[in-house]
Amino acid sequence: MAAALTQALRLHNGVEMPVFGLGTWQIPDGAPVIQACRDALEAGYRHIDTAAGYNNEKGVGQAVRESGLAREDIFVTTKLGNPEHRNGYDACLKAFDDSFAKLHIGPVDLYLIHWPCPGKYHDAWRALENIYASGRARAIGVSNFLPHHLTDLLTTAEVVPMVDQVEFHPRLMQKDLMTFLRRQKIVQESWSPLMQGKVLAIPELQEIAKKHHKTVAQVVIRWNIQHDVVVIPKSTHRERIVSNAQVFDFELSADDMKQIDALDQDKRVGPHPDHFNF
């Protein structure tokens, strides 16, 4: 199991990104996020996702430093906050400095623009390219960018984003986006893969889970991985953290995958990137 949890996808710059990790959205800073990260790392996780907007970077960094693991063995992602994004290039650089100091773990493994702020993301990306060139971020990417955002960004970008973290789950596949990302060799990562728990009530998933003697959550996480989508389910409960990781001892059949794909309704649980309130 430990070896499976280090299974990775290679980003187009050669950096290896574990396909499975811990999301930390809405986990308070201090003891709650430190404990969640500690439980995950003890369970074999080697990938933790945070953001300036989550206000828990300090605790994530503390958990990483206190883990007893080599820094290079833990993949840490953080993201540019929207207020700084709106304020332009220099504000974006300062935002990274703040995140870098709060994490206090040396270079971050991946730094993302959190949301595509209209008219602003070209300057933000230029700042990320500067950060990447400095070596303080091993990889850079975006989050919640749709094909039209990326097409526009690529008209000025010198570095193609390495990752796009987007809402992705059985009710929202965004197949056109998936096709676009693969064409551009941008790795797709999913947030809210369990639809904030709503996947648990979908009968078709319950049947597939029963067949495999697995939980619905495990089936959906496995479905992400078999689609070559990096997946970062969030939990603060140790037993669920452990359970969510138990997805490398079974495989969904082609028919299972088709059944899950067929659940797509283009239905979001989070905001649409074009209608996000900045």
Mind listing the pLDDT tens digit for each residue in 144-167? Answer: 999 999 999 999 999 999 999 999
What DSSP string describes 162-223? SEEEEE-BTTB--HHHHHHHHHTTPEEEEESTTGGGGGGG-HHHHHHHHHHT--HHHHHHHH
This prediction's pTM: 0.97
Residues, the chain: 278
Q: What is the pLDDT of residue 1?
A: 52
Calculate what percentage of the chain has a pLDDT beyond 90: 96
Task: Report whether 11 contacts 187 (CB < 8 A).
Answer: yes
Determine the average pLDDT of the residues in 201-217: 98
Determine the average pLDDT of the residues in 30-57: 98
Q: What is the pLDDT of residue 6?
A: 81
Calculate what percentage of the chain has a pLDDT beyond 70: 99
Catalytic one of 45, 54, 111, 132: 54
Domain 14-263 grouped into CATH 3.20.20.100: yes
The answer to whether residue 3 scores a pLDDT higher than 70 is no
The answer to whether residue 132 scores a pLDDT higher than 80 is yes
The answer to whether residue 211 scores a pLDDT higher than 80 is yes
Determine the average pLDDT of the residues in 177-198: 97
Cα 4–Cα 171–Cα 191 angle in degrees, nearest 5? 50
Identify whether 54 is a catalytic site residue.
Answer: yes
| Structure token digits, residue 85 | 């994004």
Encode pLDDT of 80-113 as tens digits: 999 999 999 999 999 999 999 999 999 999 999 9
